[in-house]
Amino acid sequence: MTASMSWTCAPAQYSITPDRIEITTEPRTDLWQRTYYHFQNDNAPVLQTETEEKFFSFVVKTDFTGSHHRFDQCGIAMYLDSENWLKASVEYENESFQHLGSVVTNHGYSDWATTEIPADVKTMWYRFSRREDDYRIECSQDGQRFTQMRVCHMWEGAGKIRFGVYACSPEDSSFTAVFTDFKITACAWKPHDGQQPD
């Protein structure tokens, strides 16, 4: 999979092998559009592959042992352009807790949905699933049992898309994020009861 991936905002330091990706973040890198904070940040490194497949799931394990400063983060992303993208990650807050959450940005406005988790959690699995122009994000602490974080619609997500991983440090910080165990599978997000099968 890594052989087909390409960068948006490539970082200065990174390592890519067939079964492992490392990204060393640079200070003041982020993805956010307008809502509440009013600023627009669009310089986080995102490493993605491209597909027109309408039904699939992407799984990856993230290791953020090195995160130590407010908003340090790494996770999955689907970056279409600066005003249409989504991401899911754990964002460091302090020595007590972190934010496990996701951001969906449609037509230039971001949201942020989070829940607090203990600060000693240092790894997280994600599963990103596509059903045409609707998407589901799940997380797991063991790579076996996944729980839903959110379901969303992407207004520009009906055709060819790009998806993969990202890491950034919005404030004056840097750490190395590690991504392993990535795979693409048949869509694990099944039709809702009562829907016609695909």
* Domain containing residue 155: CATH number: 2.60.120.200
Q: What DSSP state is assigned to residue 9?
A: S
Cβ atoms within 10 Å of 100's Cβ, excluding its own: 19
Q: What domain range includes position 72?
A: 2-185
Q: What is the sign, positive or negative, of the torsion defined by CA atoms of 84, 103, 5, 9?
A: positive
- Check: CB of residue 106 under 8 Å from CB of residue 122: no
- Check: CB of residue 126 under 8 Å from CB of residue 75: yes
Q: Rounded to an integer, what distance in angstroms lies between the CA atom of residue 146 and that of residue 136?
A: 11
* 66 within domain boundaries: yes
pLDDT in tens, 11-63: 999 999 999 999 999 999 999 999 988 789 999 999 999 999 999 999 999 99
Q: Measuring CA to CA, which residue among 177, 49, 189 is closest to residue 123?
A: 177
CA distances from 1 to 80, 127, 128 (A): 19, 16, 15
| Number of domains forming the structure of the chain | 1
pLDDT in tens, 83-123: 999 999 999 999 999 999 999 999 999 999 999 999 999 99
* 158 within domain boundaries: yes
* 165 within domain boundaries: yes
Q: Rounded to an integer, what distance in angstroms lies between the CA atom of residue 91 and that of residue 29?
A: 13
Q: The pTM is what?
A: 0.96
Residues 6+ apart with CB under 8 A from 37: none
Q: Which helix (H) or strand (E) holds 21?
A: strand 20-24
Looking at residue 46, its pLDDT comes to 98
Looking at residue 36, its pLDDT comes to 87
* 193 within domain boundaries: no
Instruction: Give 160's Cβ-side CA count (13 Å radius).
Output: 5
pLDDT in tens, 65-86: 999 999 999 999 999 999 999 9
* 83 within domain boundaries: yes
Q: What DSSP state is assigned to residue 192?
A: P
* 9 within domain boundaries: yes
pLDDT in tens, 155-187: 999 999 999 999 999 999 999 999 999 999 999
* 121: its two tokens: 């959690």
* 71 within domain boundaries: yes
Cβ atoms within 10 Å of 119's Cβ, excluding its own: 16
* 117 within domain boundaries: yes
Residues 6+ apart with CB under 8 A from 101: 88, 89, 91, 112, 113, 114, 115, 149
- Check: CB of residue 113 under 8 Å from CB of residue 171: no
Q: Rounded to an integer, what distance in angstroms lies between the CA atom of residue 32 and that of residue 55?
A: 27
